[in-house]
Amino acid sequence: MNRKDFIQRAALLGGTAMVLPIGILQSCEYKPVLRTELTDADIPLLDEIGETIVPTTPESPGAKEAKIGAYMVVMINDCFLPEDQEIILNGINMLDTYCAKQYNSSFERLSSDEKFNVLQGLQEEATALALEQEGMDEPVVHYFDHLKGLTISGYFSSEIGMTIAREYVPIPGKYESVIPYKKGDKVWA
């Protein structure tokens, strides 16, 4: 089985319930994409995933404005091991398939609440998986943990994350061994 087949099969397995009889497919049916690689075409989806994980708030823009989708594509393709890339790709395909089945829509087009609920569900899955494997030497990482980790690292290393959500002083010039801190104060980037 080549890599492409494997990924497609994994995606189908993950979303068996969505394999609907062809007869009832309608023209307005949302068809999930079976990705074999992550490309710039996935940026809008990843932007929405990121924005749901780290949203815009009154204090600062969210992950989408920090261009989280483009960051994720570069990092996943360049900095992840093939086995982790596979986990993420399968995961994104499953998510897409799930949204098609559940909402007859892409993830991007869901309402904010729907997006949150979908990802909250994945968070619970990921937490359960991590708990199950506690103490294991090489635990399997849920794809959602990868996406969440990337969102966090990408957002807080972006210009927005470093300079608006946190406080960035490129050249502090001095060290103050103690300063007061109260709730609501920013953290150094």
Kindly indicate which of the ranges 5-13, 29-37, 78-86, 95-103 contains the residues binding other proteins, using the contact rule CB under 8 A. 78-86
Is 107 near other proteins (CB under 8 A)? no
Is 103 near other proteins (CB under 8 A)? no
Q: Could you tell me if 5 and 33 are in contact, meaning their C-beta atoms sit under 8 angstroms apart? A: no
CA distance 187 to 189: 6
- Please give the distance of CA 156 from its chain centroid, rounded to a whole number: 15
Using CB atoms within 10 Å of the CB of residue 184, give its burial: 0 to 12 exposed, 13 to 18 middle, 19+ buried: exposed
Residue 171 has φ and ψ, to the nearest 5°, of: -125, 90
CA distance 66 to 160: 6
Give the length of the chain. Answer: 189
Position among 8, 36, 104, 153 found at the interface with other proteins (CB under 8 A)? 153
Is 127 near other proteins (CB under 8 A)? yes
**Closest CB to other proteins among residues 18, 151:** 151
Is 24 near other proteins (CB under 8 A)? no
Is 187 near other proteins (CB under 8 A)? yes
CA distance 73 to 69: 6
Is 186 near other proteins (CB under 8 A)? yes
The nearest distance, CB 170 to other proteins, in angstroms, is 7
For other proteins, the binding residues (CB under 8 A) are 52-55, 57, 59-60, 62, 71, 74-75, 78-81, 116, 119-120, 123, 127, 148, 152-154, 156-159, 162, 165-166, 168-188
